[in-house]
Amino acid sequence: MAKRNQNIAKLQSGYLFPEIARRKREFMQRNPSAKLISLGIGDTTEPLTPAIVRGLSGEVSGLASTKGYTGYGEEQGMPELRRAIAQKLYGGIVPEDEVFVSDGAKPDTGRLQILFGPGRKIAVQDPSYPVYVDSSVMMGNTGAFDAGSGQFHGMQYLRCVPENDFFPNLGKAGSPDIIFFCSPNNPTGAAATKEQLRQLVDFARRKKSIIIFDAAYSQFIRDSKLPKSIFEIDGAKEVAIEVNSFSKPIGFTGVRLGWTIVPEKLKFDDGTSVRKDWNRIMTTVFNGASNVAQHGALAALSDKGLAEMENMVSYYMENAAIIKKALSGLGYETYGGDNAPYIWVKFNSGSWEAFESILEKAHIVTTPGVGFGPSGEGFVRFSAFGHRENIIEAVERLKKHLQENSKK
């Protein structure tokens, strides 16, 4: 038999969400009549909106006719969609030929590992979206910072906690090849300021690192002073790639449509173009995003579509405000929830303990913070993706359960 990829064997006890699903299944076996509410996994719940549905179904109808049928499209995406993304979402600060349309930010994150290959020094925010660490491990980009020698051997966790305003101390960040940075952040809900991103870009320029900036939640930023893209920062085009997605702002988690921006100015140490290599990868292992999904995305960028997107985001952000207000009212330290659909809450116990207790007593599924990295220990992530009535009921249960808990 063929040998197993030993990098996969190195992955720690499975991916976080399957573990939560396993515990949830066990709970349901023990409590078959329980009515669970999930504030856990960040999946969207609200139906697709009219203008976007018209875009999707118009393309489906077209495909049903000889005249309208299309097969493979351009691997980089439909030119009019690349243009619309560049103009409507980035106000023209990135040119359309640097926009690569894809089937989502997560698959692009995986393909970025192919771009950089094994043996790279990786830095990630701690806590962070688990895909950065796990895909790096799969590629063989594993290792640890050796505090004794001060040497950097592989992956490094950049501590992001309330004490540092969820922005890492870059003075301790060594010289990584690749820095994964997500803002607004999943799971902490922290949205970096312009000044913070300026520090990050300056750091990357000094250290000759490349930033993979995950902006999957940029549409949830409510504070107009906060940057929505790394490319709002001067000098970022020489050091950053941005991944982004329609999954959360328009409910495309199942439809699938994302994009990655690779600036022409970004070069490897030998002077070759990163964009050219990315194009080579996309034309080799990716055959273009679904034409139906691309037409849905194009409709989302029409005036009507943009208004619908704004309503959808506002709905989830109202959910976030409801959850945050309730937990803060109970005296919990809460973070995020203002410019991101996640509320990051400090508990006096370990994360899994808090998770289990909320599951057992309130029948609510959350996400244990430690699953996102060691600095997430003691925190629980609450997601604002849910139907309003479920959010209201969940909040009532939490109030009851957490009040009972605090009396003990």
The residue range among 70-78, 234-242, 245-253, 333-341 that interacts with ligand PLP, by the rule CB under 6 A, is: 245-253
SS3 category, 2: coil
Residue 230 interacts with ligand PLP (CB under 6 A)?
no
Rounded CA separation 192/402 (Å): 30
Q: Which residues on neighbouring strands pair with residue 213, listed in sequence order? A: 181, 242
Contact 359, 24 (CB under 8 A): yes
User: How would you label 155-168 residue by residue, b for 16+ Cβ within 10 Å and e otherwise?
Assistant: bbbbbbbeeeebbb
Residue 216 interacts with ligand PLP (CB under 6 A)?
yes
Considering the complex, state which of residue 182 and residue 201 has its C-beta at the smaller distance from ligand PLP. 182
- Determine the size of the site formed for ligand PLP (CB under 6 A): 13
Residue 260 interacts with ligand PLP (CB under 6 A)?
no
**In this structure, which long-range contacts are made by residues 316-322, counting pairs with CB atoms below 8 Å and at least 24 apart in sequence?**
316/44, 316/46, 316/220, 316/248, 316/341, 316/384, 316/385, 317/220, 317/222, 317/341, 317/384, 318/388, 319/384, 319/385, 319/386, 319/388, 319/391, 320/384, 322/391, 322/392, 322/395
Distances (CA, A) of 41 to 45, 249, 374: 11, 16, 19
Considering the complex, state which of residue 168 and residue 207 has its C-beta at the smaller distance from ligand PLP. 168
Nearest approach in angstroms of CB 106 to ligand PLP is 3
Nearest approach in angstroms of CB 179 to ligand PLP is 15
Residue 106 interacts with ligand PLP (CB under 6 A)?
yes
How many C-beta atoms lie closer than 10 Å to residue 107's C-beta?
20
Residue 85 interacts with ligand PLP (CB under 6 A)?
no
Considering the complex, state which of residue 188 and residue 247 has its C-beta at the smaller distance from ligand PLP. 247
- Which of 44, 113, 156, 186 lies at the binding interface for ligand PLP (CB under 6 A)? 186
Nearest approach in angstroms of CB 13 to ligand PLP is 20
User: How would you label 48-61 residue by residue, b for 16+ Cβ within 10 Å and e otherwise?
Assistant: bbebbebbbebbee
The residue range among 100-108, 191-199, 200-208, 308-316 that interacts with ligand PLP, by the rule CB under 6 A, is: 100-108
Residue 258 interacts with ligand PLP (CB under 6 A)?
yes
- Which of 90, 129, 145, 181 lies at the binding interface for ligand PLP (CB under 6 A)? 129
- Which of 59, 75, 96, 214 lies at the binding interface for ligand PLP (CB under 6 A)? 214
Contact 342, 336 (CB under 8 A): yes
Tokens of 60: 């489906």
Contact 74, 288 (CB under 8 A): yes
Residue 372 interacts with ligand PLP (CB under 6 A)?
no
* Contact pattern from residue 23 through residue 62 relative to ligand PLP, giving x for each residue in contact according to CB under 6 A and a dash for the rest: -------------------x--------------------
Considering the complex, state which of residue 126 and residue 207 has its C-beta at the smaller distance from ligand PLP. 126
- Binding footprint of ligand PLP on the chain (CB under 6 A): 42, 104-106, 129, 182, 186, 214, 216, 245, 247, 253, 258
